Amino acid sequence: MRPSGRTANQIRPVSFTRQFTCHAEGSVLVEFGNTKVLCNATVEEGVPRFMKGQGKGWVTAEYSMLPRSTHTRSDREAARGKQSGRTLEIQRLIARSLRAAVDLKQLGENTIVVDCDVIQADGGTRTASITGACVALVDALNWMRAKGLIKTNPLKHMIAALSVGVYQGTPIADLEYVEDSAAETDMNVVMTDTGKLIEVQGTAEEEPFSFDEMQEMMELAKHGLREIFDLQKSALN
Amino acid sequence: MRPSGRTANQIRPVSFTRQFTCHAEGSVLVEFGNTKVLCNATVEEGVPRFMKGQGKGWVTAEYSMLPRSTHTRSDREAARGKQSGRTLEIQRLIARSLRAAVDLKQLGENTIVVDCDVIQADGGTRTASITGACVALVDALNWMRAKGLIKTNPLKHMIAALSVGVYQGTPIADLEYVEDSAAETDMNVVMTDTGKLIEVQGTAEEEPFSFDEMQEMMELAKHGLREIFDLQKSALN
Amino acid sequence: MRPSGRTANQIRPVSFTRQFTCHAEGSVLVEFGNTKVLCNATVEEGVPRFMKGQGKGWVTAEYSMLPRSTHTRSDREAARGKQSGRTLEIQRLIARSLRAAVDLKQLGENTIVVDCDVIQADGGTRTASITGACVALVDALNWMRAKGLIKTNPLKHMIAALSVGVYQGTPIADLEYVEDSAAETDMNVVMTDTGKLIEVQGTAEEEPFSFDEMQEMMELAKHGLREIFDLQKSALN
Amino acid sequence: MRPSGRTANQIRPVSFTRQFTCHAEGSVLVEFGNTKVLCNATVEEGVPRFMKGQGKGWVTAEYSMLPRSTHTRSDREAARGKQSGRTLEIQRLIARSLRAAVDLKQLGENTIVVDCDVIQADGGTRTASITGACVALVDALNWMRAKGLIKTNPLKHMIAALSVGVYQGTPIADLEYVEDSAAETDMNVVMTDTGKLIEVQGTAEEEPFSFDEMQEMMELAKHGLREIFDLQKSALN
Amino acid sequence: MRPSGRTANQIRPVSFTRQFTCHAEGSVLVEFGNTKVLCNATVEEGVPRFMKGQGKGWVTAEYSMLPRSTHTRSDREAARGKQSGRTLEIQRLIARSLRAAVDLKQLGENTIVVDCDVIQADGGTRTASITGACVALVDALNWMRAKGLIKTNPLKHMIAALSVGVYQGTPIADLEYVEDSAAETDMNVVMTDTGKLIEVQGTAEEEPFSFDEMQEMMELAKHGLREIFDLQKSALN
Amino acid sequence: MRPSGRTANQIRPVSFTRQFTCHAEGSVLVEFGNTKVLCNATVEEGVPRFMKGQGKGWVTAEYSMLPRSTHTRSDREAARGKQSGRTLEIQRLIARSLRAAVDLKQLGENTIVVDCDVIQADGGTRTASITGACVALVDALNWMRAKGLIKTNPLKHMIAALSVGVYQGTPIADLEYVEDSAAETDMNVVMTDTGKLIEVQGTAEEEPFSFDEMQEMMELAKHGLREIFDLQKSALN
Give the pLDDT score at B67.
Answer: 98
pLDDT tens digits for range E114-164:
999 999 999 999 999 999 999 999 999 999 999 999 999 999 999 999 999
User: Which of D89, D202, D204 shows the shortest C-beta gap to A89?
Assistant: D89
Q: Is D144 helix (H, G, I), strand (E, B) or coil?
A: helix
Confidence bin at A233 (pLDDT 50/70/90) = very high
Of B1, B149, E23, B42, nearest to C69 (Cα)? E23
> Which of D203, D219, D220 best tests the A interface by mutation, with the highest count of A CBs <10 A?
D203
Eight-state DSSP code of residue B83: -
Cβ-Cβ contacts under 8 Å, D87 against chain F: 78
Average pLDDT score over chain B = 97
Cβ-Cβ contacts under 8 Å, B211 against chain C: 195, 197, 218, 222
Give the pLDDT score at C24.
Answer: 98
Strand locations in A33-109 (E) = 35-45, 58-65
Average pLDDT over residues B193-202: 98
Confidence bin at D87 (pLDDT 50/70/90) = very high
Cβ-Cβ contacts under 8 Å, D36 against chain F: 21
Cβ-Cβ contacts under 8 Å, D34 against chain F: 22
Give the pLDDT score at C4.
Answer: 86
Give the pLDDT score at E155.
Answer: 98
Residue F4 has, within 13 A of its CA and on its CB side, a CA count of 22
> For residue D65, is pLDDT > 90?
yes
Give the pLDDT score at B205.
Answer: 84
Does the ipTM exceed 0.90?
Answer: yes
pLDDT tens digits for range C117-132:
999 999 999 999 999 9
> For residue D149, is pLDDT > 90?
yes
Average pLDDT score over chain E = 97
CA distance F20 to chain D (A): 10
- Sequence-distant (≥ 6) Cβ neighbours of residue B41 within 8 angstroms: B24, B25, B26, B27, B112, B113, B114, B115, B133, B136, B137, B139, B140
Cα dist from B139 to B145, E105, F102, whole Å: 10, 56, 71
CA distance D41 to chain F (A): 8
Sheet holding D26-32, edge to edge: D14-18, D26-32, D35-45, D110-120, D58-65
> For residue E4, is pLDDT > 90?
no
Contact E209 F197 (CB under 8 A): yes
Strand locations in C3-109 (E) = 14-18, 26-32, 35-45, 58-65
Cβ-Cβ contacts under 8 Å, D196 against chain A: 204, 208-210
Q: What gap in Å lies between CA E1 and CA E221, rounded to an integer?
A: 19
Give the pLDDT score at E87.
Answer: 98
Whether residue E149 contacts residue E43, with contact meaning beta carbons closer than 8 Å, is answered with yes
Give the pLDDT score at A126.
Answer: 98
pLDDT tens digits for range A124-143:
999 999 999 999 999 999 99
Give the pLDDT score at F42.
Answer: 98
Contact A199 D202 (CB under 8 A): yes
Low-confidence residues in chain F, pLDDT < 70 = none
Cα dist from A226 to A16, A221, A230, B119, E93, whole Å: 16, 9, 7, 31, 67
Strand locations in chain E (E) = 14-18, 26-32, 35-45, 58-65, 110-120, 159-167, 170-173, 185-192, 197-204
Give the pLDDT score at F202.
Answer: 97
Residues of F within an 8 Å Cβ radius of D: 21-24, 27, 34, 36, 38, 40, 42, 44, 62, 64, 66-73, 76-79, 81-83, 87, 113, 115, 117, 119-121
Residue of B nearest to C157 (CA): B208
Residues of E within an 8 Å Cβ radius of F: 82, 85-86, 88-89, 91-92, 96, 100, 157, 187, 192, 194-204, 208-211, 214, 218, 222
Residue B15 has, within 13 A of its CA and on its CB side, a CA count of 6
Cβ-Cβ contacts under 8 Å, A71 against chain B: 23
Of D11, F10, E21, nearest to C36 (Cα)? E21
Whether residue F160 contacts residue F220, with contact meaning beta carbons closer than 8 Å, is answered with no
Q: Is F228 helix (H, G, I), strand (E, B) or coil?
A: helix
Whether residue B1 contacts residue B89, with contact meaning beta carbons closer than 8 Å, is answered with no
Average pLDDT score over chain D = 97
Average pLDDT over residues C150-166: 97
Give the pLDDT score at D11.
Answer: 98
Of B133, B36, B164, B116, nearest to A23 (Cα)? B36
Amino acid, res. A11: I
Cβ-Cβ contacts under 8 Å, D96 against chain A: 203
Average pLDDT score over chain A = 97
Name C172's bridge partners. C165
Average pLDDT score over chain C = 97
Average pLDDT over residues E196-211: 95
pTM of the entire predicted model: 0.95
User: Which of A76, A115, A121 shows the shortest C-beta gap to B62?
Assistant: A76
Contact B82 A78 (CB under 8 A): yes
Burial class (CB in 10 A: 0-12, 13-18, 19+), F149: middle
> Which of C66, C75, C122, C177 best tests the E interface by mutation, with the highest count of E CBs <10 A?
C66
Percent of chain A beyond pLDDT 70? 100
Torsion of CA F14, F18, F23, F25, to 10 degrees: 100
- Neighbouring chains of D at 3+ CB pairs under 8 Å are A, F
Give the pLDDT score at F4.
Answer: 86
- Sequence-distant (≥ 6) Cβ neighbours of residue F139 within 8 angstroms: F18, F25, F26, F27, F28, F41
- Neighbouring chains of A at 3+ CB pairs under 8 Å are B, D
Give the pLDDT score at F205.
Answer: 84
Residue of D nearest to A103 (CA): D206
CA distance F67 to chain D (A): 7
Average pLDDT over residues D61-85: 97
Give the pLDDT score at D1.
Answer: 81
Give the pLDDT score at E205.
Answer: 84
- Other C-beta atoms closer than 10 Å to the C-beta of C105 total 12
Amino acid, res. A97: S
